[in-house]
A and B are shown apart, each in its own frame.
Chain A
Amino acid sequence: MKKGRLPLAATLLVLVFFYLPIIILVVNSFNAARFSSSWQGFTLEWYAKLFHSPEIWLSVRNTLVIALGSTAVSLVLGTAAAFALHRYAGSRLQQAHYTLIYTPLVVPEILMGISLLMAFVAAGTGLGLFTIFLAHVTFCVSYVAMVVLARLQDFDFQLIEAAQDLGASWWQSTRKVLLPLLLPGLAAGGLLAFTLSVDDFVITFFVAGPGSTTLPLRIYSMIKYGNPPMINALSTLLLAVTLTAVIASQRLARLKR
């Protein structure tokens, strides 16, 4: 069948559309011009300014604290959930469990943010780093569970039985057989949770309190009230970091076994 030129044209258009804004942003982060889009010479001034801004560093610290904490907790919860979903697949309980885990993946973020805010207000919990941490665990668990579940689906449970037949205890077979085989899945899930937590704006915005500004919250206020070239520089740095993380997680995913 003739392939026609329309699909090719559409694909090229889509790719230009995807990359154009990002490329221009990166280029402009080295542009000496303050407001204009015209090129006025190469500079690292915006990066230097960024480096000397204490608010940025504080927000980076908050972001990392929350991301590390919520990644650790969601990794434990999500892995247990994936295990239950896989091992007891089909039972009534697991059907309900699956629906609960699926919900955060389809619900628009703003609804999750507002409902958590309502819950924290009703419970009288002061808003701050702790409430952000709770919110982040809540959405990260689902992603971790899905990634680990996918990994479990091509796991051969006969290996565990074999280990136990050969005299390994439950703990030994888990630690020496299951965990090493599951490790790439855990690493991929953990990285995903970490990136989602670092990147989250909407939910964080609703449950943040005074003194708990994270990097996305800082970027948002810079976009609204700040200096565009500095955001370009910050965005370029973030791009470099996420791309590195993504390449690392791709490598991990490829190391399947």
Chain B
Amino acid sequence: MKRNKRRLQEWLISLPTLLWLSLFIVVPTVLVFAIAFRPANPYGGIGAGWTLETIRGLWTHGYLVIAWRTFWISAVTTVLCILLAVPTGYFIARASMKWQNRLLLLVIVPFWTSFLVRVFAWRSLLHPEGLIKQVLEGIGLASPQATLLYHPGAVVLVMVYTFLPFTILPIYAAAEKFDFRLVEAARDLGARPFQAFRKVFLPGIRRGLLTAVLVVFIPALGSYIIPDLVGGPASEMLGNKIAQRVFVDRNLPYAAALSAVLILAVLAPLIAVLVLQRKKGKADIIIGEAP
């Protein structure tokens, strides 16, 4: 009796969010996959019947180029973020408690400002009349005709800017728990500093690194604003194509098919990590922490 009452209470209190999230997360995701197989109607809606045309339409040169670019921009962004975050996370973790808190706050504060505003700030900095261009021109590193905006490099730069704090935090969290005496022991046993770093420290913060990779790579795959505002046509990613199918030619089935591809692309690394962790018998993965 008491057990049943407890179960009833559990269901009652969980029901509101279960219903809400089923209605606005699960059903819409299923719809994306379903609509990908429906034809478009001329009024920008969804037509009757089923078709494979849209899916076939994705297998064209244009989309393969976009898919490859989406992948490499996300991968390069992830690598750069990790390269910057490892020494920074290490430095913060080795600082005194007082400085650890100060530095963490310094890392987080800029990212409490509006995302659009930050992208806009970079847009003005990279603008032909902006500071960076002026400085580069002044020291003779850029010709007056060179453009910094509307280039995949600009997209990577702003993406690194956006995702870096989300990489620093998990790496710091792992480094903070790391026992630095292990590095000292390795050094005492004759390891060179870089050897100790690579063979002792990096494996020690493995979980933090993995989290860091996922929290950059997955949202990077879905980038849309950054390539839209600083990238231009030569740097379009999958997200831009989805938005164009929705807002430019209003072909929802096309947008749905592209989104289905993106969903699968996002799931792949997540599943890969879960499988890897299962194999090692460690299912306790930190995919990312709520800010």
How far, in whole Å, are A219 and B222 apart by their CA atoms in the complex?
Answer: 21
> Quick check: B252 and A14 within 8 Å, CB to CB?
no
Interface size on B (CB < 8 Å)? 86
A159 within 8 A of B: no
Minimum Cβ distance to chain B for residue A77 (Å): 5
Contact (Cβ within 8 A) A201 B130 = no
Is A108 a contact partner of B106 (Cβ separation < 8 A)? no
Contact B32 A118 (CB under 8 A): yes
Residues of B within 8 A of A9 (CB): 87
Cα distance A83–B13 when bound, in Å? 8
Residue of B90, B103, B117, B180 near A239 (CB, 8 A) is B117
A25 at the binding interface (Cβ < 8 Å): yes
Stretch at the interface among B54-62, B120-128, B148-156: B120-128
Most chain B beta carbons < 10 A, residue from A137, A192, A199: A199
Query: Cβ of B222 and Cβ of A37 under 8 Å apart?
Result: no
Q: Tell me whether A122 and B113 are in contact (CB under 8 A).
A: no
The number of inter-chain residue pairs (CB within 8 angstroms) is 244
Stretch at the interface among A41-49, A53-61, A90-98, A172-180: A90-98
A contact residues around B110 at 8 Å (CB): 18-19, 22
Chain A residues whose CB sits within 8 angstroms of the CB of B90 once the complex forms: 7
Residue of A nearest to B35 (CB): A118
A246–B25 CB distance below 8 A:
no
B17 touching A77, Cβ below 8 Å: yes
Residues of A within 8 A of B26 (CB): 100
Tell whether A255 is near chain B: CB-to-CB under 8 Å.
no
What is the interface of chain A mostly: helix, strand, loop, or mixed?
helix
Residue contact A246 to B10, C-beta cutoff 8 Å: no
Q: CB within 8 A of A21: which of B35, B121, B239?
A: B121
Q: Which residue of B lies closest to A236 (CB)?
A: B117
What mask results when residues 17 to 32 of chain A are scored 1 for a CB within 8 Å of chain B, else 0? 1111110110010000
A7, B87: Cβ atoms closer than 8 Å: yes
> From residue B140, how far is it (CB to closest CB) to chain A in Å?
18
Enumerate chain A residues within 8 angstroms of B112, measured Cβ to Cβ: 195, 242-243, 246
Asked whether, in the complex, the Cβ of B24 is within 8 Å of the Cβ of A91, the reply is no
How far, in angstroms, from A9 to B84 measured CA to CA in the complex? 10
User: Quick check: A138 and B24 within 8 Å, CB to CB?
Assistant: yes
Which B residues between 1 and 44 are near A, CB-CB below 8 angstroms? 6, 10-11, 13-14, 16-18, 20-22, 24-29, 31-32, 35
Q: By the criterion CB–CB under 8 Å, are B266 and A111 in contact?
A: yes
A81-B14 in contact given A106-B270, A121-B46 (Cβ < 8 Å): yes
Check: B213 CB closer than 8 A to any chain A CB.
no
**For the complex, is A115 an interface residue (Cβ under 8 Å from B)?**
yes
Q: Which of B14, B29, B91, B252 contacts A97 (CB 8 A)?
A: B14
7 contacts between A and B (CB under 8 A): A14-B88, A21-B125, A106-B287, A108-B239, A119-B24, A199-B115, A219-B120
Extra 11 A-B pairs, beta carbons < 8 Å, given A7-B88, A192-B291: A7-B90, A18-B107, A80-B16, A81-B17, A97-B17, A100-B22, A106-B287, A111-B262, A115-B259, A147-B290, A223-B116
Closest 9 CB pairs of A and B: A108-B222, A115-B28, A146-B290, A7-B91, A10-B87, A21-B121, A119-B28, A81-B17, A235-B117
